[in-house]
Amino acid sequence: MAETRKIAVVTGAGAGIGRAVSLALLGVGYSVLLAGRSRKSLQETLDLAGENSANARVIPTDVSNSTAVKALFDKVKSEFGRLDLLFNNAGIGAPPVPPDELALDVWESVVNTNLNGSFYCARAAFGLMRHQRPMGGRIINNGSISAHVPRPYSIAYSATKHAITGLTKCLSLDGRPFDIACGQIDIGNAETPMTSVMKKGVPQANLTMAPEPVMDVSNVASAILYMDSLSLDANVQFMTIMATKMPFIGRG
């Protein structure tokens, strides 16, 4: 019988948002390639999939390495022959310091992962989607609230997330002739290990410290499922999903 499952690649699948989205996709019948730097973390995601784990593949991948990204998407092509969804999610932050104190190697690491890595993955996915038959697919980029409004001392993370918005717009425009839809999800305060500090207190625009509300990460997974439930003649171009009471509207 021909493969009828939708095929998805999720980067940063070993924890947090990437893990939650991967498990949700597996739960509704996708085959998912779990990409991330840590094989151990990816294996933990696979174990959490339970009976759905047979439809997942662990592919350790450093998205900042273009050779590793090529190998990931070569695996997609050789094993499945097509790709329906890329969730471009992998990203890292940097220490909260003034711009002149941010080490150049840290800046480069954030840019290489968040921006270059997203482009490498989108480039490879676009190539598969453009040439496969039937043609087309969907790319969803993780933009973040920081694609709109920065936090104090976040120049590397915020600059790359603003750049993701440009990447999303270009992919959306260039994908039109090939039935490739590209959208962006901007997430505010989803509760993950990376954001656990928010409940204790994070810098505000006036440099005071204050705790911030968070939301269950399952809400993000539900949003991704909705965005990819649409036919390819429809697209959620930008979606902001955030903890209802977080200081985003009126931030600063």
Instruction: Find the angle CA(72)-CA(161)-CA(97) to the nearest 5 degrees.
Output: 115
The SS3 of residue 29 is coil
Q: Check if the beta carbon of residue 227 is closer than 8 Å to that of residue 140.
A: yes
Does an H or E element contain 129, and which?
helix 117-131
Which of 222, 246, 243, 226 minimizes the C-alpha distance to 235? 226
Is 157 one of the catalytic residues?
yes
The SS3 of residue 104 is helix
Identified catalytic residue from 30, 120, 153, 157 = 157
First-to-last alpha carbon distance for the chain, in angstroms, is: 57
d(CA 70, CA 97): 34
Question: What values do phi and psi take at 113, rounded to 5?
Answer: -80, -55
How many Cβ atoms sit within 10 Å of the Cβ of residue 208?
8
Rounded alpha-carbon distances, angstroms, from residue 218 to 20, 105, 137, 140, 222? 6, 34, 24, 17, 6
For strand 209-210 and strand 85-88, is the pairing parallel, antiparallel, or unpaired? unpaired
d(CA 58, CA 26): 13
Rounded alpha-carbon distances, angstroms, from residue 62 to 32, 68, 74, 86, 138? 17, 6, 15, 16, 22
- Residues tagged active-site: 157
